[in-house]
Amino acid sequence: MSAVHGRGRCLCGAISFEVHAPMREVSFCHCGMCRRVHGYAGAYTTALVDSFVLHDAQGALRWYRSSEHVQRGFCGTCGTTLFWQHEGSKVRGVTAGSLDAPTGLRAGVHIHVADKGDWYELPDDGLERRQGSFS
Ligand SMILES: [Zn+2]
Ligand SMILES: [Zn+2]
């Protein structure tokens, strides 16, 4: 397999992983589901599903089906949210916060901005803002 482009783990360390492919820029998702899961916008990068090597000796990884075709992966022990997976997609979303520094990533885009929480304003960071998802 190709070189490691990123490493990450959950808070308790039960789950760790390596990403053996380039990761895209970080998307900040302001949808209502991400807000509940993350407490604020969800920060996700993506990489090819096949490029993930997962270490989960205790079987801590749980998947929650948050919508018809999407599952969210998290640690059943510490609750850290790790993955976002659209059924049949070749790419997997991974939470930027679960990655070890230096990630080499850059902030890219705010998505689902129309659904953002009413208790904060979007940062004036010059990033693109989209009503919908990233394409
Ligand atoms: Zn954990
Ligand atoms: Zn979202």
Q: Which domains does the chain have, with CATH numbers?
A: 6-129 (2.170.150.70)
**Ligand nearest to C-alpha 134:** 2
**Ligand nearest to C-alpha 42:** 2
Q: Which two tokens stand for residue 30?
A: 């302001």
Model confidence over 46-58: pLDDT tens digits? 999 999 999 999 9
Global confidence as pTM: 0.94
Model confidence over 83-130: pLDDT tens digits? 999 999 999 999 999 999 999 999 999 999 999 999 999 999 999 999
d(CA 124, CA 109): 12
Query: H or E segment at 129?
Result: strand 128-129
Q: Which two tokens stand for residue 38?
A: 């993350």
d(CA 6, CA 97): 12
d(CA 18, CA 36): 27
Query: Is pLDDT above 70 for 135?
Result: no
**51 alpha carbon – ligand 2 mean position (Å):** 23
- Dmax (CA) of the chain: 45
